[in-house]
């Protein structure tokens, strides 16, 4: 049966409405389960910058959950992408693909090894307004995470690691590092409730051993303002090493009596430092 003119008009109107709704819904891009508005209103003059959170080794994007809730409650768009944990250069390239997809100003936040990644990914990008390091590495060009960890005494990470070596498709071998489940809470998250720390241990993502030995190529902190949450009870990156890197970068330092998992145990403090950086660079 031929479609009547009235019915055809109604069908076209319905399609138009559905298409408009779909276009609006696609204006929100989701990375790591966190939505970030990319509609024109999000890049209006005076709009708050997008906060990009990069997790480190032995963690995943859920380690930012408490921080994300607070930032979103205060009106900040947030993206928490997965970090491949394969090496600073390739991980920075992965993060750049996320950063380049987000319009407007951005604040990059890196925890632990994630600091090495944002230091490379944020370089030479005028839309990256500030860097926030959370119990993190701030390597200078040529430095490695392993070198910086051993620069000062205090790290007990080495004795807790569980290395897993396997072959790649090309026949070469690589080694991934985990923290042993029985050592995870004491080493990584001593101030996190035991049940939550057990979940973190079970869901930890390994880092390639080679990633900790790969020299940094650039350092965005040499050109951009930086903030640093230094953890004074950290067994992964010694407090002295964190302070050395922060002071060298002329970062705004907040010292916290917390474990390496400060974003989990002190999310309000971490979110507050991030918002401080965002306000100072708008």
Q: How far is it, in rounded angstroms, from Cα 234 to Cα 216? A: 23
pLDDT of residue 46: 64
Mean local confidence (pLDDT), 225-234 = 98
Does residue 1 fall inside a structural domain?
no
Per-residue tokens: 58: 């032995």
Does residue 51 fall inside a structural domain?
yes
The answer to whether residues 208 and 86 touch, using CB atoms and an 8 Å cutoff, is yes
Q: b/e string for 200-239 if b means 16 or more Cβ within 10 A?
A: bbeebbbbbbebbebebebbbbeebbbbbbbbeebbbbbb
Judged against a pLDDT cut of 80, whether residue 124 lies above it is answered with yes
CATH classification at residue 258: 3.40.50.1820
With residue 185 as reference, give the H or E element that holds it: helix 181-188
Structural domain of 219: 29-280
Judged against a pLDDT cut of 90, whether residue 3 lies above it is answered with no
Judged against a pLDDT cut of 80, whether residue 45 lies above it is answered with no
Does residue 24 fall inside a structural domain?
no
Does residue 79 fall inside a structural domain?
yes
Q: How far is it, in rounded angstroms, from Cα 83 to Cα 66? A: 18
The answer to whether residues 164 and 206 touch, using CB atoms and an 8 Å cutoff, is yes
Does residue 16 fall inside a structural domain?
no
Does residue 11 fall inside a structural domain?
no
Number of Cβ atoms within 10 Å of the Cβ of 257: 10
Per-residue tokens: 240: 């002295």
Q: How far is it, in rounded angstroms, from Cα 141 to Cα 61? A: 27
Confidence of residue 274 (pLDDT cuts 50, 70, 90): very high
pLDDT of residue 38: 38
CA 118 to chain centre: 8
CA 103 to chain centre: 18
Judged against a pLDDT cut of 80, whether residue 200 lies above it is answered with yes
Mean local confidence (pLDDT), 235-254 = 98
> In the predicted model, what is the mean pLDDT of the chain?
88
Q: How far is it, in rounded angstroms, from Cα 41 to Cα 238? A: 43
pLDDT of residue 47: 86
Q: Which residue has better confidence, 59 or 36? A: 59
Per-residue tokens: 18: 């559905």
Q: pTM of the full predicted structure?
A: 0.85
Q: How far is it, in rounded angstroms, from Cα 130 to Cα 254? A: 16
Does residue 19 fall inside a structural domain?
no
Per-residue tokens: 261: 């998992």
Q: How far is it, in rounded angstroms, from Cα 242 to Cα 229? A: 9
Q: Is 122 helix (H, G, I), strand (E, B) or coil?
A: coil
Mean local confidence (pLDDT), 7-32 = 36
Q: How many residues does the chain have?
A: 282
Mean local confidence (pLDDT), 76-95 = 98
Number of Cβ atoms within 10 Å of the Cβ of 59: 26
**Of 154, 152, 279, 151, which is closest to residue 227 (Cα–Cα)?**
279
Per-residue tokens: 166: 């396997």
Does residue 105 fall inside a structural domain?
yes
**Of 268, 258, 280, which is closest to residue 112 (Cα–Cα)?**
258
Per-residue tokens: 17: 């409405």
Confidence of residue 26 (pLDDT cuts 50, 70, 90): very low
For residue 66, what are the β-bridge partners?
Answer: none
Q: CA 130, 120, 231, 203 torsion: positive or negative?
A: positive
pLDDT tens readout for residues 136-180: 999 999 999 999 999 999 999 999 999 999 999 999 999 999 999
Asked which of 20-29, 85-94, 102-111 is least confident by mean pLDDT, the reply is 20-29
Q: How many domains does the chain have?
A: 1
Judged against a pLDDT cut of 80, whether residue 265 lies above it is answered with yes
């Amino acid at each position: 049966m031929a479609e009547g003119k009235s019915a055809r008009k109604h069908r076209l109107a319905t399609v138009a409405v559905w298409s408009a709704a779909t276009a609006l819904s696609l204006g929100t891009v989701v990375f790591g389960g966190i939505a970030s508005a990319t509609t024109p209103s999000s890049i209006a003059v005076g709009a708050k910058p997008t906060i990009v959170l990069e997790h480190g080794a032995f963690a995943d994007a859920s380690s930012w959950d408490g921080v994300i809730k607070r930032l979103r409650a205060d009106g900040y768009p947030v993206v928490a992408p997965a970090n491949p944990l394969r090496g600073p250069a390739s991980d920075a390239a992965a993060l750049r693909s996320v950063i380049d997809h987000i319009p407007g100003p951005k604040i990059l936040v890196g925890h632990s090894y994630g600091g090495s990644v944002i230091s490379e990914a944020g370089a030479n990008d005028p839309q990256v307004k500030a860097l926030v390091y959370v119990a993190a590495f701030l390597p200078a060009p040529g430095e490695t995470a392993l070198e910086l960890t051993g620069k000062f005494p205090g790290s007990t990470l080495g004795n807790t690691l569980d290395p897993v070596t396997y072959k790649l498709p090309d026949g070469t071998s690589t080694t991934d590092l985990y923290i042993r489940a029985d050592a995870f809470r004491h080493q990584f998250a001593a101030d996190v409730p035991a049940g939550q720390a057990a979940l973190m241990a079970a869901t930890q993502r390994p880092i390639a051993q080679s990633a900790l030995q790969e020299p940094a190529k650039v350092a965005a902190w040499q050109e951009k303002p930086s903030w640093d949450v230094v953890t004074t009870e950290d067994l992964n990156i010694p407090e002295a090493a964190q302070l050395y890197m922060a002071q060298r970068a002329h970062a705004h330092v907040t010292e916290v009596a917390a474990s390496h998992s400060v974003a989990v145990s002190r999310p309000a403090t971490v979110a507050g430092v991030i918002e401080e950086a965002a306000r100072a660079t708008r």
